[in-house]
Structure 1
Amino acid sequence: MATSFNFELDNKPSRDGRYRVLLRITQNRKHKRIKTSISLNRKSDWNKIRKEVRQSEPNYKIWNDMLKKEMEKAQMQYLELKDYGIVTPDKLKDELIASERPVSFLKYAQQRTQELIECGNIRNAKKYKTFCNKLELFLTNGNGKVRDLSFGEITPSLVEDFYNFLMNLRNERNPDQVLHPNTVQTNLNIFRTLIKKAIEIDKLMKMDRNPFLAFKYKGVKTEKEKLNSEEIDLIIGLSLEENTPIWHCRNYFLFSYYCAGIRAGDFIQLRWCNISTDNRISYQMGKNHKTRDIKLPKQALDILELYRKDDSRPTDYIFPLLDNNAIYAKAITQSEIDVLPSEIKNLLFNQISSKTAIINKYLKKIAVCAGINKNISFHIARHSFAKVAKEKGISTDVIQNILGHSKEETTKRYMGEIDNSECDKTMEKLFDN
């Protein structure tokens, strides 16, 4: 499979009226042409026989040297691809273009963030936007101007500098503290993902230029806050005035706990149609689209009755957190939410985030009232359920099934169908009092 390299002049002038010199790659009589850095004012300045710039062009020596170097580069790239057994004119063209394309990595990251917003992936878009903001801070000079960052500048050394910058960056919410190591890891994970996409999909970098092949990092193990059964009882025993915000937020937290830790986003969007006549709750998790089907214990049913109205419709939200008449409320199932326009998804996401923040604010007050010296949030209901279940001797297998974990290392171990009868017995054992 012979491959040849030659120069030729483009017969058609570009917009500026100049004629571009092309590198022609031929393999099995098939041609691929790549633009070189040289353009001529006149066709007559090109020697078709010798495949070089004529002496009639004042810069002919410099330009012929440049063409020679571009030819050598293409031939070296060909040999490298040949060693990997993937040499084709198309592949060679992609590699050569990738090595020359002057692309701003910062703009590339911002473009990817916008793509996530446009496709409705608001959760990840927020993370990417945070990464872009931190990268801009890293690239800001003493005059307050943000310098650009090209792909060619991204080396293991630069990534390490960015890592050190993040490790010393002040936390916006708590200026007396620096970023948590796991927050730093999240930002570096996004950095690595963008580089991988640039290499494998957009061909903006060569594989061997990936800085994360050399730079390694990891976060730290953190102990998740969780409540034990005694602390749960303290919250239950609080005397709170009915229909006040703090009273509602306790109900929300306990309902999540009694339902094996429903995540805030799923809880806020629960509708009466998610509750069956045989006292089960069934819904599709927004995070991983897995379906949870759980038997409701009496404590959860009692909380539901506090919110049931005579005129409640099956499509109404159970808890008074979202507007039943809002434009996003028309999407009832998770599959319908998935196809909402991005601006409506964004509106729904912002509403959920706002309500979650309010709930967490009152949960911190509840902890103070109950004398619990822990940083309680809505998600703690999920960890607390797992802790109490473990305390009562429930097997890890069943707990993971009830929680609906979707991590790869978990799901590989639980590939079979979930046995709901075993899960039902667990819920009865946990809340039989």
Structure 2
Amino acid sequence: MATFRFELNGRPTRNKTYVVYLRVTVGGKRKLIKTMVEIARPCDFNAKCKGENWIRGGVRDAKVLNAQLADILAKAKETYKELDKEGEVTTVALAKEMNTEVVSPSFMAFARERAQMIYDNGGWRNWRKYCGLINKLDAFRKKRRMADITVADMTVELLTRFDNFLHKWENEREPGKLLHPNTIEVQFNILRTLVHRAIEVGIMEASKDPFLVFKYKGIKTIKEKLDDSEMERIINLELENGSLIWHCKNYFLFSYYCAGIRAADLIQLRWGNVTASGRLHYQMGKNHKERDLLLVEQAIEILRHYQREDEKATDYIFPLLSNDAEYAGYVTQADKDRMRPELRHKMYQDISSKNALINKYLKKIAEKAEIEKPLSMHISRHSFAHIAQESGAESSAIKNILGHSNLATTERYMGSFDTSKTDETLRNVFAKKQSSATATEESGATKEEQAIELLKSMTPEQIMAVISAINK
């Protein structure tokens, strides 16, 4: 099967006109075929017209232009039928048979179309990320005085120039600073995903993938986390019962006691997620993984503050989202996946707003507890991983309880690798050397005798290392 649709090239010609193209899709492969129809203004074209009125009626010679487009469409369909009979139908063969030029599709239009698909499928977080990249690409296009960024424009040279452009971009969240290298890495990760998607749908050749050559990697950062003593200061902090700051302390500690449950998941918890056997069972919104956690006594104590006699299983546990909201009727993750895009958008806006409110009060809690680190809900997750590691928990167990797919992610949460064994090794090695050296000095032995005694206390590997160093 083939589909045919007219669309307008967003890049004006030298004569300041806009060319109409016929977009042909055959077997998932898409190409643009140039027509001879040109118009003066983009608003004069209607891609979603009824009938054959692609050029609006107010345009001079609109009837003639529409007739030309209708003829082109008819010819394309007829040519397709003929090629299909011969078993040689492809977009390139179709364009060649029609004796026309195949042009490169708009990458910007493709990116916007993909972002809209993500929005329609409920991926609000990803939609925001895609929109951020599109806005930056558009600003880059304008600065370069490019009418459009086509698929053919996506080269290593363009990515290199875009890289340089991003390194001069002002950081909106931190005025006076530029984008963080890791934020730039995120932009290129999304761009790479778009390029690979373009290859999958057939509007770009795999051999033209610029990311086969172009690479960008951010910098390693240290995940902020609290140690055991800092957590104790928060736990013991006296706050007015029932106050907003008191509630925010409860939210943070409940997340910590539940192995760092993410803020968005905590905000959406319902009483039905608490089992009769004293466990918390829910599905993570980020990756849809199931989590089944034992509720420790400290977590149960927090829940007691929010229990009511008339509570329902579908009611939210914490007083953050309204049980009367329209989206509250979508309980399971499967229900949420079928939510209307605009309703899902509203729900995530409310969740983001509540998360920001909690983080605002966590900063005040940090001040009261004399903690200089930037306290936020997500730090509870990092803190749990770090403190669990310090208590002797295996990395694999921490990985499973956090719901990570990759151990490397867990290790980043815990911080640097476990230094307890290396610390002990250093103490033992140098304590042994020190004691040997002290003993030989006190005995009045010669330097040669001291060296022999010292060598006796060393391993063969250490001796070989000494010999190697002497021979250099």
Same fold at TM > 0.5: yes
Cross-structure match for 1:131: 133
Cross-structure match for 1:183: 183
Contact 1:20/1:38 (<8 A) preserved: no
Contact 1:284/1:292 (<8 A) preserved: yes
Contact 1:367/1:376 (<8 A) preserved: yes
Contact 2:283/2:333 (<8 A) preserved: yes
Superposed displacement of residue 209, structure 1: 1.3
Residues 302-328 of structure 1 deviation map (CA, whole Å, 9 limit, x = unaligned): 100111112111111000000101111
Question: Measured at CA, do residues 410 and 140 of structure 1 come closer, stay the same or move farther in structure 2, by a change above 3 Å?
Answer: closer
Contact 1:170/1:178 (<8 A) preserved: yes
Q: How many Å separate the matches in 2 of 1:409 and 1:383?
A: 14
Superposed displacement of residue 146, structure 1: 7.3
Question: Measured at CA, do residues 296 and 30 of structure 1 come closer, stay the same or move farther in structure 2, by a change above 3 Å?
Answer: closer
Contact 2:124/2:348 (<8 A) preserved: yes
Q: Which is worse superposed, 121-130 or 235-244? A: 235-244
Which secondary structure does the structure 1 equivalent of 2:89 belong to? Answer: strand
Cross-structure match for 1:376: 375
Cross-structure match for 1:335: 334
> Does the alignment pair 1:105 with 2:107?
yes
Matches within 5 A, 1:138-217: 138-141=140-143, 147-201=147-201, 203-217=202-216
Superposed displacement of residue 241, structure 1: 1.3
Superposed displacement of residue 244, structure 1: 1.6
Q: How many Å separate the matches in 2 of 1:150 and 1:169?
A: 23
Contact 2:399/2:407 (<8 A) preserved: no
Contact 1:113/1:125 (<8 A) preserved: yes
Superposed displacement of residue 399, structure 1: 1.1
Matches within 5 A, 1:312-351: 312-351=311-350
Matches within 5 A, 1:70-109: 100-109=102-111
Cross-structure match for 2:387: 388
Amino acid at match of 2:298: Q
Amino acid at match of 1:322: L
Cross-structure match for 1:77: none
Q: How many Å separate the matches in 2 of 1:353 and 1:297?
A: 28
Superposed displacement of residue 26, structure 1: 7.7
Amino acid at match of 2:382: H
Q: How many Å separate the matches in 2 of 1:340 and 1:112?
A: 19
Question: Measured at CA, do residues 286 and 24 of structure 1 come closer, stay the same or move farther in structure 2, by a change above 3 Å?
Answer: closer
Q: How many Å separate the matches in 2 of 1:23 and 1:277?
A: 64
Q: How many Å separate the matches in 1 of 2:223 and 2:120?
A: 33
Which secondary structure does the structure 2 equivalent of 1:171 belong to? Answer: coil
Superposed displacement of residue 287, structure 1: 1.1
Which secondary structure does the structure 2 equivalent of 1:277 belong to? Answer: coil
What percentage of aligned pairs have identical amino acids? 46
Higher relative contact order (CA 8 A, sep 6+): 1
Contact 1:288/1:406 (<8 A) preserved: no
Superposed displacement of residue 410, structure 1: 7.5
Question: Measured at CA, do residues 16 and 344 of structure 1 come closer, stay the same or move farther in structure 2, by a change above 3 Å?
Answer: closer
Superposed displacement of residue 102, structure 1: 3.3
Amino acid at match of 1:265: A
Contact 2:106/2:151 (<8 A) preserved: yes
Q: How many Å separate the matches in 1 of 2:329 and 2:207?
A: 49
Cross-structure match for 1:424: none
Which secondary structure does the structure 1 equivalent of 2:142 belong to? Answer: coil
Cross-structure match for 1:219: 218
Superposed displacement of residue 15, structure 1: 3.9
Q: Which is worse superposed, 17-26 or 349-358? A: 17-26
> Does the alignment pair 1:233 with 2:235?
no
Cross-structure match for 2:63: none
Amino acid at match of 2:157: S
TM-score, length basis structure 2: 0.67
Superposed displacement of residue 101, structure 1: 3.5
Contact 1:101/1:204 (<8 A) preserved: no
TM-score, length basis structure 1: 0.73
Cross-structure match for 1:50: none
Contact 1:137/1:146 (<8 A) preserved: no
Q: How many Å separate the matches in 2 of 1:250 and 1:379?
A: 13
Superposed displacement of residue 30, structure 1: 3.1
Aligned-residue Cα RMSD (Å) equals 2.7
Contact 2:248/2:358 (<8 A) preserved: yes
Contact 1:140/1:147 (<8 A) preserved: yes
Cross-structure match for 1:30: 87
Which secondary structure does the structure 2 equivalent of 1:362 belong to? Answer: helix
Contact 1:234/1:370 (<8 A) preserved: yes
Contact 1:24/1:31 (<8 A) preserved: no
Q: How many Å separate the matches in 1 of 2:97 and 2:205?
A: 24
Q: How many Å separate the matches in 2 of 1:324 and 1:24?
A: 57
Superposed displacement of residue 258, structure 1: 0.4
Superposed displacement of residue 242, structure 1: 1.6
Contact 2:396/2:407 (<8 A) preserved: no
Question: Measured at CA, do residues 295 and 36 of structure 1 come closer, stay the same or move farther in structure 2, by a change above 3 Å?
Answer: closer
Residues 16-70 of structure 1 deviation map (CA, whole Å, 9 limit, x = unaligned): 657969799989953437344797xxxxxxxxxxxxxxxxxxxxxxxxxxx6xx9
Q: How many Å separate the matches in 2 of 1:24 and 1:350?
A: 50
Q: How many Å separate the matches in 1 of 2:83 and 2:318?
A: 68
Question: Measured at CA, do residues 17 and 134 of structure 1 come closer, stay the same or move farther in structure 2, by a change above 3 Å?
Answer: closer
Question: Measured at CA, do residues 353 and 146 of structure 1 come closer, stay the same or move farther in structure 2, by a change above 3 Å?
Answer: farther
Superposed displacement of residue 127, structure 1: 0.6
**Which structure's CA Rg is the greater one?**
2
Question: Measured at CA, do residues 158 and 397 of structure 1 come closer, stay the same or move farther in structure 2, by a change above 3 Å?
Answer: same
